[in-house]
Amino acid sequence: MEETPGLSDQYRKASPWPLFIALGVPISELGLLFDIFPVAVGGLLLFCGCVVGMLQEAGYIRMPWSGLAVSAGLLFLAGGGVLYINPQVGVDMTLRAYAILASGLILAMGAGAGRLFVPKSQFPA
């Protein structure tokens, strides 16, 4: 008799990333809805960090730093776009734009710090 019937090494283990990806954007929107800036930024960081973690787990990227830098660049583009179209839209979206830009800045700093301070030998080839 096996201790864990029905489980073997041939089955893939479940990944925790999809749950947190699904929660990242709603948490950010709740932060915007209730004017809580750190929650809005944290939700976007959760979303982008989990997407990059999922890409690394799937084997598409070796180290997360380049994925974080690309995510930061996309957030800079999105935040700048929202800030640019803000005067033409009837709704004030400056808090949203600043939350997007702040999360892009934090991701860029994290990618730079990871590239500088985390040894490459820590990641499998």
- C-beta of residue 67 within 8 angstroms of C-beta of residue 47: no
Q: How confident is the model at residue 1 (pLDDT cuts 50, 70, 90)?
A: very low
Q: What is the pLDDT of residues 67-78, one digit of tens each?
A: 999 999 999 999
Alpha-carbon separation of residue 53 from 9, 61, 93, 97, 109 (angstroms): 23, 9, 29, 25, 17
Distance of CA 62 to the CA centre of its chain: 17
Give the count of beta carbons closer than 10 Å to the beta carbon of residue 122: 7
Q: Which residues are CB-neighbours of 23 under 8 A, at least 6 positions away?
A: 43, 46
pLDDT mean over 84-100: 88
The pTM of this model reads 0.84
Distance (Å, rounded) from C-alpha 125 to C-alpha 119? 13
pLDDT exceeding 90 applies to what percent of the chain? Answer: 67
